[in-house]
Chain A
Amino acid sequence: MSIYRAHILLPVDEGTIQAGVAEIKRELEKLLKEENLQDEVKILEAGTSGVIGKGVLVIVYPDKVTYYNVQKHNLKCLISEHIIKGRVAKDLEYSLEGDQTGSIGLGRIGLTREQPRIVLNKCWKINPESIEDALAAGGYKGIERILSEKIAPEDVIHEVKKSGLRGRGGAGFPTALKWSFTRAAEGSEKFMICNADEGEPGTFKDRLIMEGDPHQLVEGMMIAGYAIGAGKGYIYIRGEYQLSIDRIQKAIDQARASRLLGTQILGTDFSFDLEVKKGAGAYVCGEETSLIDSLEGKRGYPRIKPPFPANSGLWRKPTCVNNVETLSNIPEIVYNGGDWFRKFGTEKSTGTKVFTILGHVEFPGLIEVEMGTPLREIIYNYGGGIKDGKSFKAALVGGAAGVFLSEKLLDVPMDFESLKENAAVLGSGAILVMNEDADMVSMLDSVLHFFAHESCGQCAPCRIGTHQLLALMSRIRQGAGEEEDLQRMLDISNTLFDTSLCPLGQSLIMPVKSALDNFKEDFLNKVRHSEN
Chain B
Amino acid sequence: MTRSDILEKYPKAGDNLISILHDMQNLSEWNYLSKEDLQAAADYLELPFSFVHGVATFYTMFSLEPRGKKVIRVCQSPPCHLTGATEVAAELSRILGIGFGETTPDRLFSMEMTSCLGVCGVAPAIMINDEVYGNLTADRLKEIIAEKRREK
Measuring CB to CB, which residues of chain A are less than 8 angstroms from any residue of chain B?
14-15, 17-18, 52-53, 198-204, 207, 238-242, 277-283, 294-300, 356, 358-360, 364-366, 396, 400, 430, 432, 434, 438, 442-443, 446-447, 449-450, 453-454, 456
Contacts and interface: CB of A to CB of B under 8 A. Distances in A.
27 contacts: A14-B119, A15-B134, A17-B132, A18-B132, A52-B121, A199-B118, A201-B78, A201-B116, A202-B116, A280-B61, A280-B62, A281-B60, A282-B58, A283-B115, A297-B17, A298-B14, A300-B59, A356-B121, A358-B123, A359-B83, A432-B120, A438-B82, A443-B81, A446-B76, A449-B76, A450-B76, A450-B77
Contact of B120 (A204, A296, A443): A204
B121 A364 contact: yes
Contact of A364 (B21, B120, B127): B120
Interface in B95-120: 113-120
B3 interface: no
A299 B58 CA distance: 6
Given A202-B79, A282-B58, A450-B116, 15 more contacts: A14-B119, A14-B132, A15-B121, A18-B122, A199-B115, A238-B118, A239-B61, A281-B61, A296-B15, A297-B17, A297-B45, A297-B55, A298-B51, A359-B82, A432-B82
Q: Across chains A and B, which 4 residue pairs bring their CB atoms closest together, nearest first?
A: A52-B121, A280-B59, A297-B17, A281-B60
A239 to B, nearest CB: 5
Contact of A14 (B83, B113, B116, B122): B122
B108 to A, nearest CB: 21
A456 B62 CA distance: 15
B78 A432 contact: yes
Contacts of B55: 297-299
Contact of A297 (B16, B116, B120): B16
B118 A203 contact: yes
A396 B45 CA distance: 44
Contacts of B22: 239, 278, 280
Contact of B133 (A18, A366, A446): A18
In this complex, the member of B58, B61, B62, B118 whose beta carbon has the largest number of chain A beta carbons within 10 angstroms is B118
A453 B113 contact: yes
B25 to A, nearest CB: 9
Nearest to A442: B81
Contact of B118 (A198, A360, A454): A198
